[in-house]
Chain A
Amino acid sequence: MLRGLWALTWIEIKVFLREPLGAFGMIVVPVVVFIGLGRIVGRSVAPSSLAASGFLRAGVPVLASILITLSAVLSLVTIISIYREGGILKRLRATPLRPQTILTAHVLVKLLLTAVTLLLTVLAAKRYYPIGIHVPVFGFTIALLISTWSVLSIGFLIASIVPTARFSQPIGAIMLYPMVALSGLFVALESLPPKLQIVARMLPLTYAVSLLQGILKGDAWSAHVGDIVALTVVFAVCTALSAKVFRWE
């Protein structure tokens, strides 16, 4: 299983960084959204106001983090679709590589890029964010990686369903971004109509947001076991489904 994993992961990182907009789009966009949104909110509303400060402290950082996750997942969906369409996946399979090794390499690349993007965002925030926020960087990184790891499994499902590489990114975006609206980031779950609450509780991003907000506030991990279990269940179910429907060519 491990044979070739590091070699393949390393190649995939290099190849990704050579994409003209790949690294830029994935790393720069969330940083810009984070800083830009923070400054706009910080300027238009008095930072001392309770709502603005709450949004700046918990809302924007988590929104930026979720964007990091989603862009990692969309990038995975796109790459897997392109690799399948170009016969690259098939070519890799005609080696002693195990199928799960090939896919794990892509997950590792995305997790690594997620961590790097988060790190850059934190560094940028230290200098340019309107208010000082104390982020438990290590814990928050772990929380984001768990969230990304879980949502990536949905990415594999989407990549299996979308027929051609051309549509993979837009279809993936249409499936994933609406989840943000119901994730509890903008409107607290409790204030949603009961039916929408049920829907929200079925969506993995809801648990990712809850976990990220909690860890950001300084909650103990024990308070978020439920979120982690939910994200793990999402991962297990999507991985099991992917194993059945995933197409290599």
Chain B
Amino acid sequence: MAQEIHTGNSIIHVSGLRKAYGSTVAVDDVSFEVNNGEIFGLIGPNGAGKTTTMECVEGLRTPDRGTVSVVGLDPWRDKYRLQERVGVQLQQAQLQKRIKVWEAVHLWASLFRKKTADGDRLVEQLGLVEKRNAWFMDLSGGQKQRLFIVLALINDPEVVFLDELTTGLDPQARRAIWELVRGIRERGKTVCLTTHLMEEAERLCDRTAIIEHGRIIDIGAPDALVQRHCPERTVVLSTDDPTAEERLRAIPRFEAITSKDLRFTIRGSGDNFVTEVIRCLSENRIKVTDFRTVLPNLEDVFLKLTGHSIRD
């Protein structure tokens, strides 16, 4: 029996999810919710448990423990009903080498009970018209991913799952794909994605969950996560004023200063820190030849929370 759970605006509920492969625990006590109409990102390094979590939510894996509900359905017990209503793009998936683009689109369209989206229009919207008759094996990485997006959207799904969508793509193709994902949200669909690229999460996601070693460390909007965990601000300026360092040290909530060749890097905390630096410079008539602020990002949040960089 399908368990219907509805809390507020959320469309995906995950609670106490656990999945182990043999003695390796891939996902442990993971809980989160995804709101209707948002782009939600599971972020973390490779092997953190993002894909396992997502595949449990998609109904491709059975969790050992915990409950999952997607559009009110249990992904495992109602697998086939769920597949009708969600779109899936898998990490490192392939199609038959010699299937043509249009054949794949038509095949997928024939698999769903309900009326599907207009495949030809999707192919056009994702810029694959010229490749309609090309074999899958002859497509570029970006074209393959765009085809997988077409297939994920063919059943006009309510929720779209995208697993490491832009891995292996060049920056230009990556940006184009981001634009497409935003387009999916504009159509009123919910997007749940995984990525190990912090820039991707920052630019694309409304909310993110940071995963490491199979556990969620924190959840929130990228900005909110940065504010919560990295309140410090950094200002980099160049000046030949010999009194500068002493004056800057006197700024309220000052934390540290380093200098190299008349170039100072000043760190302090609080939203007002940058204003205080500017006030200090202006009140003391310190002439600067260069001035910029360095804002912390998700990368710094990750470093702070885990003690290591996401690339390690």
Contacts and interface: CB of A to CB of B under 8 A. Distances in A.
A97 B88 CA distance: 13
A91 interface: yes
Contact of A96 (B80, B96, B103): B80
B38 interface: no
B98 A15 contact: yes
Interface in A1-30: 3-4, 7-8, 11-12, 14-15, 18-19
For chain A, the bracket of interface size reads 20 to 34
Nearest to A19: B98
A136 B135 CA distance: 41
Given A4-B111, A7-B110, A11-B103, A94 B95 contact: no
Interface stretch (A32-40, A82-90, A218-226): A82-90
Interface string A50-68: 0000000000000000000
B110 A94 contact: no
Contact of A7 (B60, B106, B113): B106
Interface string A79-109: 0000100111011011111100000000000
Contacts of A83: 96
Which DSSP category, helix, strand, loop or mixed, fits chain B's interface?
A: loop
B95 A88 contact: yes
Contacts of A11: 96, 99, 103, 107
For chain B, the bracket of interface size reads 20 to 34
A246 B90 CA distance: 20
A15 B99 contact: yes
Nearest to A94: B88
B111 A7 contact: yes
Nearest to A101: B111
A88 B97 CA distance: 10
Given A14-B103, A19-B98, A90-B60, A97 B111 contact: yes
Nearest to B161: A94
A119 B107 CA distance: 30
Contacts of A86: 94
Nearest to A85: B94
Contacts of A95: 83, 88, 108, 111-112
A87 B94 CA distance: 6
12 contacts: A7-B107, A7-B110, A7-B111, A12-B96, A15-B98, A18-B98, A87-B92, A87-B94, A90-B60, A90-B93, A95-B83, A96-B112
Q: Which 10 A-B pairs have the closest CB atoms?
A: A86-B94, A18-B98, A94-B88, A7-B110, A91-B93, A96-B83, A87-B93, A4-B111, A15-B96, A95-B111
Interface of B: 58, 60, 80, 83-84, 88, 90, 92-99, 103, 106-108, 110-113, 135
